[in-house]
């Protein structure tokens, strides 16, 4: 049953506080927090004239210039799923169309529609899809941060998405997850798919993982999609072979194989990932903050270099990863114990949490030096050291793959600490790194904090102002 009214869904961003690189290996886990910056997706019917039939889905992201994608779709033979083709408006040349492609949207649409077609016999009617990102996913230009438009819930950044600087909050995973969830909710009856149920979340997780993995070249551990679905958690990745053996979209039996992967039936069987929500807690009176350095890194290239070092220096890497894994687990355990304790240590509250951050940072810098990859580059070391000298800052890291994306801090949740950080950032000038990634930009605190909840339904009327 297709909804005759709009559907809206949102998914959170993420920060991999501990477990960068290690989370790629099933022998290790990652401590991942969801963030309250969300990607929002709404779907509504396309109005057509009487007697007019369309096989078209239009996707737009009105916060960015030229962010409109029009897709045609058709059911392929031999259970090959739904083939999605980007339509070329008359104003576009072939070269311009290629530049305007969005692999994450196109792949997620093809995977989701293929699963929908294989799960039942729905009428996949034309639809209009709108994507909106909370402002902290992108560095806010001075013209917006200093102007009256800064009060807008969703900034109009005025540039193509390719020109907007990401802050490293996991926009692609949140996008694919929210986009997939919205499509499933819109096209499938609630008796077949219910986003509020555990079964619905598990199937969404599996489908979003498959689409996101395909869109980014079958790399990554999937922790970002897991947090987009479930929120904050302790995550152990699935076996890569789960998503490496199926045929490509459009080929015979792709739709059938995708259904078996998502529903965990047939030769695929149950997924072997682990998502533990009860192991992740933040003590009352503390919060996570993210600080944008307006620079950015090329994560895939960094990951390849670290994995090459691990392969070449296996014994050295194994010893370091084992120590880092112990430190990561200790941090997660200390946070949980502090959250569950009636009171903290009287003499020096959170001393063990502070020590865990220091140990993790020391080991990460060792990995940086041994692999030749700027996981915690000197510019970030100087920034984190300065932040940690503020009494209310318990510790911080360059999360995930590291580099020059936003840094993450665990702080006392009070105005004094926030004011001291903002005073520090106001005069902080980020230097230029040796690898050319750094733009010498400003440092600013993002308006995000930890988010325990993952995917959720929203009220479509809350987005009417931004829908065309």
Q: The CATH number of the domain where 357 resides is what?
A: 3.30.70.890
- Encoding tokens for residue 415? 């105005």
Write out pLDDT tens, residues 343-386.
Answer: 544 446 799 999 999 999 999 999 999 999 999 999 999 999 99
Verify that 302 and 421 share a domain, yes or no: yes
Each as own residue / partner, the long-range contacts of residues 305-312 (CB below 8 Å, 24 or more positions apart, any chain) are 305/371, 305/372, 305/373, 306/21, 306/367, 306/371, 306/373, 306/375, 307/21, 307/24, 309/370, 309/371, 309/372, 309/373, 310/371
Looking at the fold, whether 188 and 209 belong to one and the same domain comes out as yes
Residues 422 and 311 in one domain: yes
| Contact criterion met (CB below 8 Å) for 57 and 71 | yes
Same domain (yes/no): 306, 201:
no
Tell me the pLDDT band of 435, cut-offs 50, 70 and 90: very low
Assigned domain for 375 exists: yes
Same domain flag for 460 and 447: no
Q: What is the CATH number of the domain that holds 230?
A: 3.30.230.10
- Is residue 1 situated within a structural domain? no
Token couple for 175:
């996008």
- Residues 227-236 have pLDDT tens digits of 999 999 999 9
Q: DSSP string covering 117-173, please?
A: HHHS------EEEEEEE-GGGBPPPHHHHTSGGGGSSS----S-GGGSPB-SS-HHH
pLDDT digits (tens, 9 = 90+) for 302-351: 999 999 999 999 999 999 999 999 999 999 999 999 998 855 444 467 99
Per-residue pLDDT, 450? 96
* 427 and 314 fall within a common domain: yes
Q: In this structure, is residue 257 part of a structural domain?
A: yes
Say yes or no: 47 and 174 in one domain: yes
- Residue 332: give the domain boundaries: 286-451
Answer yes or no: is 2 within a domain. Answer: no
294 and 156 in a single domain? The answer is no
Per residue in 41-54, is it b (16+ CB within 10 Å) or e — as a string?
A: bbbbeeeeeeeeee
Average pLDDT over residues 3-7: 79
Q: Are residues 44 and 177 in the same domain?
A: yes
Does residue 389 lie in a domain region? Answer: yes
pTM over 0.95: no
Strand ranges in 222-341 using DSSP code E only, listed in sequence order = 233-236, 274-276, 286-292
Residues whose CB falls within 8 Å of the CB of residue 319, separated by 6 or more in sequence, listed in order? none
Express as a percent the part of the chain with pLDDT over 70: 87
Residue-wise pLDDT for 443-452, tens only, equals 899 999 999 9
Question: Residue 340: which residues within 8 A CB-CB, separation 6 or more?
Answer: 281
pLDDT band at residue 162, thresholds of 50, 70 and 90?
confident
Q: How far apart are alpha carbons 157 and 160 in whole angstroms? A: 8
Could you give the C-alpha distances from 457 to 9, 257, 462, in angstroms and in order?
Answer: 5, 28, 12
Looking at the fold, whether 184 and 263 belong to one and the same domain comes out as yes
Q: Are residues 446 and 460 in the same domain?
A: no
**Confidence (pLDDT) at 301:** 83
In a domain, 43, yes or no: yes
Tell me the pairing of strands 444-445 and 407-412: unpaired
Alpha carbons 158 and 142: distance in angstroms, whole number: 13
SS3 of residue 419 by DSSP: helix
Average pLDDT, the chain: 88
User: Over 60: is that where the pLDDT of 97 sits?
Assistant: no
Q: DSSP label at 195?
A: T
Collect all residues with Cβ–Cβ distance below 8 Å to 133 and sequence separation of at least 6.
37, 39, 40, 61, 63, 154, 171, 175
Contacts of residue 371, defined as CB under 8 A and 6 or more positions apart, other chains included, come to 305, 306, 309, 310
Same domain as 234, residue 89: yes
d(CA 272, CA 22): 17
Total domain count for the chain?
A: 2
Q: What is the pLDDT of residues 173-185, one digit of tens each?
A: 999 999 999 999 9
- Residue 188 CB neighbours (<10 A): 21
**C-alpha 87: how far from its chain's center?**
28
pLDDT digits (tens, 9 = 90+) for 106-144: 999 999 999 999 876 667 899 999 999 999 998 876 555
pLDDT band at 55 (very low <50, low <70, confident <90, very high): confident
| Distance (Å, whole) CA 21 – CA 305 | 11
């Amino acid at each position: 049953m297709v909804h005759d009214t709009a559907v809206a869904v949102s998914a959170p961003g993420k920060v991999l506080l501990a477990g960068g690189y290690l989370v790629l290996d099933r022998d290790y886990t990652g401590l991942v927090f969801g963030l309250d910056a969300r990607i929002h997706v709404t779907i509504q019917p396309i109005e057509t004239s009487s007697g007019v039939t369309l096989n078209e889905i239009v996707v737009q992201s009105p916060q960015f210039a030229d962010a409109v994608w029009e897709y045609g779709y058709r059911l392929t033979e031999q259970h090959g799923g739904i083939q999605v083709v980007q339509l070329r408006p008359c104003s576009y040349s072939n070269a311009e169309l290629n530049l305007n492609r969005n692999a994450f949207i196109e792949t997620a649409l093809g995977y989701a529609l293929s699963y929908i077609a294989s799960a039942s016999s729905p009428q996949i009617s034309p639809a209009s899809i709108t994507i909106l990102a909370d402002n902290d996913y992108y560095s806010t230009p001075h013209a917006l941060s200093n102007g009256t438009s800064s009060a807008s819930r969703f900034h109009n950044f005025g540039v193509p998405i390719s020109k907007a600087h990401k802050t490293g909050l996991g926009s692609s995973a949140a996008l694919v997850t929210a986009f997939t969830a919205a499509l499933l909710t819109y096209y499938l009856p609630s008796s077949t798919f219910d986003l509020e149920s555990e079964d619905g979340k598990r199937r969404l997780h599996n489908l979003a993982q498959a689409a996101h993995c395909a869109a980014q070249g079958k790399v990554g551990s999937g922790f970002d999609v897991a947090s987009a679905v479930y929120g904050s958690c302790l995550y152990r990745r699935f076996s890569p072979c789960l998503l490496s053996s199926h045929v490509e979209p459009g080929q015979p039996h792709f739709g059938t194989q995708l259904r078996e992967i998502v529903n965990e039936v047939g030769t695929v069987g149950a997924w072997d990932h682990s998502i533990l929500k009860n192991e992740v807690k933040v003590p009352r009176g503390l919060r996570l903050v993210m600080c944008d350095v307006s620079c950015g890194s090329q994560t895939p290239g960094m990951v390849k270099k670290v994995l090459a070092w691990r392969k070449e220096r296996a014994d050295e890497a194994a010893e370091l990863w084992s120590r880092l894994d112990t430190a990561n687990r200790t941090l997660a355990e200390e946070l949980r114990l502090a959250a569950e304790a009636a009171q903290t240590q009287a003499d020096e509250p959170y001393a063990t949490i502070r020590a865990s951050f220091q140990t993790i940072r020391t080991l990460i810098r060792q990995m940086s030096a041994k692999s030749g990859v700027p996981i915690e580059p000197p510019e970030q070391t100087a920034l984190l050291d300065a932040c940690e000298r503020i009494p209310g800052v318990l510790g911080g890291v360059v999360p995930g793959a590291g580099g020059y994306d936003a840094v993450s801090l665990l702080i006392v949740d009070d105005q004094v600490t926030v004011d001291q950080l903002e005073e520090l950032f106001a005069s902080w000038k980020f230097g230029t790194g040796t690898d050319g990634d750094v733009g010498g930009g400003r440092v600013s605190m993002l308006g995000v904090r930890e988010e325990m909840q993952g995917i959720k339904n929203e009220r479509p009327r809350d987005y009417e102002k931004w829908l065309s």
